[in-house]
């Protein structure tokens, strides 16, 4: 959603931004890149962002996600906030479970 409508980034909280940019998967690198692009160039349309992605190691994954999405469904900020809340809960559960596996 964010790559299709970069203006949604400004509707998110700082905590949301931090959550996305600190993800340990390639998604975190994507959102760090995305945040830099927004700061340097402002909110761009997907075709412009898509061209900039070519220089990144996660370009193929990001293009697959966005190009494979249903474009006739408009991005919904409430749906995005719900997905972020779900991600935050999953990450909050992951850390204590990781600690349990370390032993005494």
The C-alpha angle 8, 78, 59, rounded to 5 degrees, equals: 45
Confidence of residue 85 (pLDDT cuts 50, 70, 90): confident
Facing residues of 45 across strands? 5
Confidence of residue 74 (pLDDT cuts 50, 70, 90): low
pLDDT in tens, 7-46: 899 989 999 999 999 988 899 999 999 999 999 999 889 8
57 contacts 86 by C-beta, under 8 angstroms: no
Q: Kindly state the average pLDDT of the residues 68-95.
A: 77
Q: What is the DSSP string of 6-58?
A: GGGGGGS-HHHHHHHHT-SSHHHHHHHHHHHHHHHH-SPBHHHHHHHHTTSTT
> Is position 35 within any domain?
yes
> Is position 68 within any domain?
yes
> 74 is in which domain, residue-wise?
6-100
Distance separating alpha carbons of residues 56 and 59, to the nearest angstrom: 5
- pLDDT for 71 equals 63
Domain count, the chain: 1
> Is position 1 within any domain?
no
Confidence of residue 56 (pLDDT cuts 50, 70, 90): very high
Q: Kindly state the average pLDDT of the residues 62-88.
A: 80
> Is position 18 within any domain?
yes
> Is position 89 within any domain?
yes
Distance separating alpha carbons of residues 16 and 13, to the nearest angstrom: 5
Query: Could you tell me which of 99, 89, 83 has the C-alpha nearest to residue 12?
Result: 83
Distance separating alpha carbons of residues 32 and 9, to the nearest angstrom: 12
> Is position 82 within any domain?
yes
């Amino acid at each position: 959603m964010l790559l299709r409508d970069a203006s949604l980034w400004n509707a998110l909280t700082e905590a949301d931004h931090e959550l996305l940019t600190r993800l340990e998967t390639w998604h975190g690198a994507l959102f760090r890149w995305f945040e830099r692009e927004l700061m340097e160039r402002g909110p761009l349309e997907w075709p412009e962002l898509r061209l900039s992605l070519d220089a990144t190691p996660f370009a193929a994954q990001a293009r697959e996600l966005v190009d494979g999405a249903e474009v006739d469904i408009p991005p919904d900020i409430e749906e995005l906030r719900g997905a972020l809340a779900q991600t935050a809960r999953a990450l909050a559960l992951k850390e204590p479970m990781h600690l349990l596996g370390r032993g005494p």
